[in-house]
Structure 1
């Protein structure tokens, strides 16, 4: 076990890294953050911020020399950098797991290899593949860049085959995945952790609502039946075992109109939809990331209260600061801001959670507060 007082490394300095730093420092660990942004949210809270690219040789040498273990904030860390580090220091998640999940085509092929259901998909490497892919997948569909896409970026909705060529060109003609759009009842996600010895611990499923491809609201517990919930847990465990994963991972699912449960995406890290765990669970997803990284027993994931979480995007600041006094007047509300200095449309600036006696009441209060924050006096 790696115990308090040790130094840990974090590749990535955004809000997920910041929340990990808070959990680690609260538990008595030192944290070195590597991020090329001189004003990164995690870097400003870390014991030291190494302002460098993720594959910078000097930065990796320092991490290997000074850290007892290294983890990642997001999936687009170069896998080769993780392989380099792993020669001298424990790295979780592994380079192989990250490489699988940072490319949609590899990820979907991995899921297919496990026998897990996904939306119908086809690979498009060049314009010559468009006709065959269209015939395989059908329409309506979504064309997605195979790599470097998140929060709805790098995606184009395609209603029919005549729109496909233009959509492919708009994404730069790079390798893409064409995916059939599913007739959905809801979208749900699960966050779970797996330790070095293969033990797992999962949090309750979250119901998710997106706007413009970005998560807007999560509510827990998800309003799905026990059998479907148990199936989601079983599928998520198969994924972490298939990746031989160590750390915290999230799986997003589609619940189709016909009752089918389909895997949408894997995130090899704590997840936006898991932020509720900080306020509403015995152990947060960031404490769990710390425990898995350090070889400690996994924490208890029990839900203490029904909860709703709302993302705060930079759009809200365009007409002035949100009306925070209204948040503090709302029973059960908890605010988390990420320390980002510039509020831009679509940029995640923070989130708030509302705890209540029932999930219905938590959602009602959260939606009312969501509107009130931006309503003039």
Structure 2
């Protein structure tokens, strides 16, 4: 008699348990909304009272993410912990994992925080990158530009804020202007990639290796902040498949549990260069709330809680566009004029210039016509 093989389902964190989110911004808010819809309790750790994420959570610990005592208190109240931004000490996350499940771990966090580690990991996985050099001094820039050439981009490898600093150098006259950036520490100098389109892809993976891969999208930045996402990207099937292959290679190589965003440059010749990894849900897939069979926020919660992950279907082409503080009044007037637009606001009280306040997603059958309609509003130029 043949022996019967009994397969046990992997342990999952069931609804009713508590998910702790480190961070209080809009991504944490949308994670919390997804988790609440799935039946979880949600706690937030963030120093700002009544922050965007806390408004939709069950409770909040008001503390900085580097406060060891508060982190431990937070861990004791949660069944699983995730994070919505990268300005967190990776070693503290490793330590926290001894008290409570932190499925994303610390490796991806450390890689995403440090451009040198990020590039080393990508090179190890044979992912195409822009030529670069490590920079410590102005003299290093002078030497590096002789091979990298102009234009090029000087970037800090890590900064106190989530946004890393950078400066474009168009010629030798720009080299002395880099001293202030170099005072922040080691930098890298990257060759400028003359890209035709900037692309993004988001992928979620659970501990069992199930994947949810979102469509490849086009993205547009304004002052280093994401302004617009077009789904799907207007590129060839070959490019789409290669972006998907790259994302799977990166996710599986990292043994990812959770969600990552990957930004890429596409050149006129069809070459792809990975420009950045983001170790959490990515704003470029915010459109997935309205346009996909499941949002990136639900797949992220599923992944960290051990649920199976589905294949993602794009239900409608879409354009998603960021609402900045200075645009609030103009966008609010569009509520009366655009009944089919999906308006998402993040509950932020102060509308400052350049501050991200929300986003709008427009489902469409004609992307070019929708882009014209957006332009005609005069809000996004």
Output the TM-score relative to the length of structure 1. 0.93
Matched, 1:96 2:107: yes
Task: Give 1:134-283 correspondences, 5 Å limit.
Answer: 134-148=145-159, 154-283=165-294
Report if aligned partners of 2:261, 2:281 keep a CA contact under 8 Å in 1: yes
- Number of equivalenced pairs: 370
Write the distance in 2 (CA, Å) between the matches of 1:354 and 1:123.
Answer: 42
Change (3 A) 1:44 1:191: same
Write the distance in 2 (CA, Å) between the matches of 1:124 and 1:30.
Answer: 46
Matched, 1:327 2:335: yes
Change (3 A) 1:267 1:372: closer
1:136 shift after superposition: 3.5
Report if aligned partners of 1:309, 1:366 keep a CA contact under 8 Å in 2: no
**Residue 355 of structure 2 corresponds to which residue in structure 1?**
347
Matched, 1:301 2:312: yes
Report if aligned partners of 1:152, 1:212 keep a CA contact under 8 Å in 2: no
What SS class does the counterpart of residue 361 from structure 1 fall into?
helix
Write the distance in 1 (CA, Å) between the matches of 2:50 and 2:183.
Answer: 30
Matched, 1:110 2:110: no
**Residue 76 of structure 1 corresponds to which residue in structure 2?**
87
1:150 shift after superposition: 7.8
Gaps of 5+ in 1: none
Change (3 A) 1:159 1:151: farther
What SS class does the counterpart of residue 44 from structure 1 fall into?
helix
What SS class does the counterpart of residue 69 from structure 2 fall into?
helix
Output the TM-score relative to the length of structure 2. 0.92
Write the distance in 1 (CA, Å) between the matches of 2:213 and 2:370.
Answer: 22
More divergent stretch after superposition (62-71 vs 304-313): 62-71
Matched, 1:337 2:345: yes
Match of 2:96 among 82, 85, 91: 85
1:357 shift after superposition: 1.8
Matched, 1:285 2:296: yes
**Residue 360 of structure 1 corresponds to which residue in structure 2?**
368
Task: Give 1:6-25 correspondences, 5 Å limit.
Answer: 6-25=17-36
Matched, 1:5 2:13: no
What SS class does the counterpart of residue 322 from structure 1 fall into?
helix
Change (3 A) 1:289 1:348: same
Report if aligned partners of 2:18, 2:42 keep a CA contact under 8 Å in 1: yes
1:204 shift after superposition: 0.7
What SS class does the counterpart of residue 335 from structure 1 fall into?
strand
What SS class does the counterpart of residue 54 from structure 1 fall into?
coil
1:372 shift after superposition: 5.7
Write the distance in 2 (CA, Å) between the matches of 1:104 and 1:140.
Answer: 20
1:328 shift after superposition: 4.2
Change (3 A) 1:27 1:173: closer
Write the distance in 1 (CA, Å) between the matches of 2:124 and 2:310.
Answer: 31
Report if aligned partners of 1:151, 1:214 keep a CA contact under 8 Å in 2: no
Match of 1:53 among 41, 50, 64: 64
More divergent stretch after superposition (285-294 vs 104-113): 104-113
Report if aligned partners of 2:157, 2:164 keep a CA contact under 8 Å in 1: no
1:57 shift after superposition: 2.2
1:258 shift after superposition: 2.0
Write the distance in 1 (CA, Å) between the matches of 2:380 and 2:232.
Answer: 25
| CA RMSD between the two structures | 2.0
1:211 shift after superposition: 2.0
